[in-house]
Structure 1
Amino acid sequence: MSAGPSGEVEASPAFPVSGRKLDRSAWSWALYQGGRDPYIGLISGFLFAPYFATEVVGDAVKGQAMIAQVGIISGLTVAFAGPVLGATVDLLGPRKPWLGLCTLLVIPLMLSLWFALPGGTLLSPWTVAGILAAIAVLLSCGEVLFSSMLTYAAKPRMQPMASGLALSLGNVTSIALLLFILFAFMLPETPLLGLSKESHEPDRIVPILVAATFALCAIPMFLFSRDAPSVAKKASLKSILGGIKSLIGLVRNAKDNSDAMIYLLARTLAQDAGGVLLVLCGVYAAGVMGWGATEMLVYGLLGCVAGFIGGFAAGWLDEMFGPKVAFQIEIAGSVLGLLGIIGAAPDQILFIHIANPVAIWNGPMFTTAPELVFLLCGFFGFVFQIAAWSSSRTLLTRIAPKSQMGAFFGLAALAGNSTSWLGPLFVGIFTSVFKSQQAGFVPVTILFAAGFFLLFLVKGGGREIDPA
């Protein structure tokens, strides 16, 4: 990557941009997500959440149910706050001041997770769950602000690539952190900085590293990315009430934006079902496959590599088929990967029992066929699920009016968080009733399928792109 004329940054040859360039504003915008996304993979997914469930709570099944409850609480909160926030910033203009506030609040909360000791001896499991819920609310509100900046931070023809790049960068930083954690803290008998494995300090330092990465990667976006233009208003109760009024009008006139409204319903059922999968997949793998911290770290690393590929794949699929069809392809791929995951167990492949599985290679881990199939299906599903996140964001920028982009991304937060609490609720119910983590993911598959078919009713989102 090198600086080009007029302050533009020439795209890396590894990024398929068809001769076009992303400028500094778009790259800086994407880098913000590069710093934020490791929280999803390392804390909500592969490392801290399994540690929380198995060591702080002390029971993988109860821990998964508790994390599902965190999803319910945070999802309901964002379902109310997100749309109002989005509609209000449409009236106020710039997103950066509010995004900066969310960022400044969330980083200390991440740092506080260091005190989540085994058995809840310092912070009780429910206190830790409350911190996780608060972080989830702030990150979700930040997502509304950040995503609605895309139409300003990147030129129209560059928006699919900028969206995909943001997700790819999130996985690049996650891979870098995972490798550092693996070689600095997990593999050595004496971890770096003298951390104690007996006290699970290598697990507890993960949120600190994630918080530091987020802070560093956020800086360029606040310095260089284009924002919505300022308007002659200041934040006040009157502006919030104006945002609520605008939001109500938007919902009342839903017929004028039927494509966007149908999309939001499809996203509710499908895309955030994938969010449930990403949040709980680590706990699921630890509980069902019986993997320890090192295996989970490698599993997370492979998931991040898949996400890196998925971010680039999304840009290509959006250009080839349009974001609507791309989104459907990605949902279908996610379902296939999910079926492979829930059909696996230490003695099972694709729901078929394997008697006494033996090692098929002499590696340090993942030596049996069921483990390797689980890894392959997880990798496949992650590629398509991360791509789906990108295409869903690009699709909304195509079918929603630019003047109401914040409101529509706020409604997307409402739609997404409707699933993010309904999905965990169903997962928790199925897990508790059937006493099985596999059964807990059956409703997620149904939500995916419903969203896939609803997208056929969306008329926009084809290959046509407005001139830059």
Structure 2
Amino acid sequence: MALMPTAAGPEEALPPSVSVPGARKLDRSAWSWATYQAGRDPYIGLVNGFLFAPYFATVVVGDGVNGQAMIAQMGMISGLTVAFIAPVIGATVDTLGPRKPWLALITLMVIPLMMSLWFAAPGGAILSPWIVVAILGLISILLSCGEVLFSSMLPYAATPRMRPMASGWALSLGNVTSIILLLFILLALMLPEKPLFGLSKEASEPDRMVPILVALNFALCAIPLFLFSKDAAKSGGKANAASVKMGVGSLVSLIRNWKQNSDAMIYLLARTLAQDAGGVLLILCGVYAAGVMGWGGTEMLVYGLLGCAAGLIGGVLAGWLDETFGPKIAFQIEIAGSVVGLIGIIGAAPAQILFMPVTDPQPVWNAPMFSTLPELVFVFFGFSGFVFQIAAWSSSRTLLTRLAPASQMGAFFGLAALAGNSTSWLGPMLVGIFTAVFHSQQAGFVPVTLLFAAGFLLLFFVKGGGKEPDPA
């Protein structure tokens, strides 16, 4: 059954020749929408990334190898779960209209789950490691489903001219809050001999406090969206089995009649390939830096902070590129920039720059780290790659809002989640194969470049997503 757009819904994808009215400056609705991502994103970096997850693997489980294996199993199960249910959620919410009630429900479920990670005590003394990993998996599923609702709300929360900047600023704000929280945790909890709040290092309470601070930040930053952001109009339908059945039917019809939305479908394939490559770049670049450049914990911490700063710049850059060239060309520029950054990274080594050897590199400035020219070049290309990759995430979201029909926006973001989770294994698998075959971390990243290139080329077959003219 086809879905009818609501009267208050966003505009359907418009051809490049049609003028779209509206100011670029974000209004309260758009800012409030962007602020939600500032609350959600720190979980990805601080809990899933380089603070709580390593603590869980090494201290709660007590064995880094088994801990990593448990997290990997959780990631596989949660990813497959999202791949099945996200499209259904997206298509169903299209039949109902408003996203806020369901996003509020997910938010109210996620926050206490994050706080419950405080009970992940050393050795599983309070919660067993398997209960903790189950909580992490449930949070991952809820956040991924919330991403479908949140992203499909953008066309309602922001006018067409505001969407590029809103999408970019959302990612930038997420990196701002990540940096602030990270610095606070390090300076107030991790580094002092006597942490703030009287926390006990012997009981690993500073590590266990991380998800609580992330949850409090999420709760605070989520409030503006529910108070001020505009949402889709009510369709009159009720949330019941019939609405789910209608959503599934619409989803099946959408896939069966894919030629009617061929540009959006081709784009989803291009986006999936490019973001598989981008995910590998963001996730494995730290491992690569530690292995090839021989950096220790302090260097990696500073490198991680630079990565957050790059994300802030990337979000702003994406908004400017989208406005200047249109989101499709912007996405291609960002993919190309990511490839340049990746080539610079894999061409670097402690005594090598862009695949050319450097004889006995000496410090070029008086610094406690990153003092040699090869190190500085590696940091430069790594920083650049991060900037363009975060920008690519923003432009890809904006482009989908331009290509997908307004009445099926949720379904298309659900399909994007399905595609992303179904193929998230591809990039890491190719890296693993090339690394094992050629016994080289540099060679392992060659297929990542090929995935970027495939996504870049496929975008040439997508019509739409060009620069929108200034209103008369």
In the alignment, which residue of structure 1 is the partner of 2:253?
249
Shift in alpha-carbon separation, 1:396–1:248, aligned structure 2, 3 A: same
Distance 2:77 2:361 in 1: 41
Deviation at 1:127, TM superposition (A): 4.8
In the alignment, which residue of structure 1 is the partner of 2:79?
75
Contact 2:276 2:426 in 1 (8 A): no
Q: Out of 263, 266, 270, which is 1:262 matched to? A: 266
Alignment of 1:69-218 (within 5 A): 69-117=73-121, 127-197=131-201, 200-218=204-222
In the alignment, which residue of structure 1 is the partner of 2:392?
388
In the alignment, which residue of structure 2 is the partner of 1:11?
none
Deviations 1:137-181 (A, max 9, x none): 211111100010011001111111111111111111112112212
Identity %: 78
Deviation at 1:438, TM superposition (A): 5.5
Deviation at 1:348, TM superposition (A): 5.5
Deviation at 1:275, TM superposition (A): 2.7
Deviation at 1:107, TM superposition (A): 1.9
Deviation at 1:425, TM superposition (A): 4.4
Contact 2:152 2:413 in 1 (8 A): yes
In the alignment, which residue of structure 2 is the partner of 1:364?
368
Alignment pair present for 1:271 and 2:275: yes
Deviations 1:357-390 (A, max 9, x none): 6554443334444443332222111110111011
Q: Out of 38, 45, 48, which is 1:44 matched to? A: 48
2:162 aligns to what SS in structure 1?
Answer: helix
Deviations 1:423-445 (A, max 9, x none): 34445666677787656544433
Q: Aligned AA for 1:420?
A: S
Alignment pair present for 1:373 and 2:377: yes
Alignment of 1:442-461 (within 5 A): 442-461=446-465
Deviation at 1:289, TM superposition (A): 5.1
Deviation at 1:272, TM superposition (A): 3.7
Alignment of 1:15-26 (within 5 A): 20-26=24-30
Structure 1, 441-450 or 381-390: larger mean CA deviation: 441-450
Q: Aligned AA for 2:109?
A: L
Shift in alpha-carbon separation, 1:423–1:56, aligned structure 2, 3 A: farther
Shift in alpha-carbon separation, 1:358–1:66, aligned structure 2, 3 A: farther
Q: What is the CA RMSD across the aligned residues, in angstroms?
A: 3.1
Distance 1:202 1:350 in 2: 41
Q: Aligned AA for 1:91?
A: T
Deviations 1:93-144 (A, max 9, x none): 1111111121122223322333445666665665544433322221111110
Contact 2:290 2:296 in 1 (8 A): yes
Alignment pair present for 1:407 and 2:411: yes
Structure 1, 76-85 or 279-288: larger mean CA deviation: 279-288
1:270 aligns to what SS in structure 2?
Answer: helix
Distance 1:236 1:198 in 2: 50
In the alignment, which residue of structure 1 is the partner of 2:339?
335
2:92 aligns to what SS in structure 1?
Answer: helix
Contact 1:260 1:400 in 2 (8 A): yes
**Higher Cα Rg: structure 1 or 2?**
2
Structure 1, 202-211 or 346-355: larger mean CA deviation: 346-355
1:37 aligns to what SS in structure 2?
Answer: helix
Q: Out of 419, 424, 429, which is 1:420 matched to? A: 424
The count of residues paired between Structure 1 and Structure 2 equals 451
Distance 1:280 1:208 in 2: 27
Deviation at 1:212, TM superposition (A): 1.0
Distance 1:68 1:62 in 2: 10
Contact 1:366 1:372 in 2 (8 A): yes
Q: Which runs of 5+ in 2 are unaligned?
A: 1-21
In the alignment, which residue of structure 2 is the partner of 1:302?
306
Deviation at 1:67, TM superposition (A): 4.8
1:420 aligns to what SS in structure 2?
Answer: coil
In the superposition, the TM-score normalised over structure 2's length comes to: 0.85
In the alignment, which residue of structure 2 is the partner of 1:323?
327
Shift in alpha-carbon separation, 1:27–1:298, aligned structure 2, 3 A: same
Structure 1, 263-272 or 240-249: larger mean CA deviation: 263-272
Q: Aligned AA for 1:447?
A: L
Distance 2:103 2:283 in 1: 23
Q: Aligned AA for 2:195?
A: P
Distance 2:198 2:305 in 1: 24
2:161 aligns to what SS in structure 1?
Answer: helix
Q: Aligned AA for 1:227?
A: D
Contact 1:53 1:283 in 2 (8 A): no
Distance 1:231 1:331 in 2: 38
Distance 2:153 2:269 in 1: 22
Contact 2:338 2:389 in 1 (8 A): yes
Alignment pair present for 1:220 and 2:228: no
Q: Which runs of 5+ in 1 are unaligned?
A: 1-17
In the superposition, the TM-score normalised over structure 1's length comes to: 0.86
Shift in alpha-carbon separation, 1:91–1:125, aligned structure 2, 3 A: same
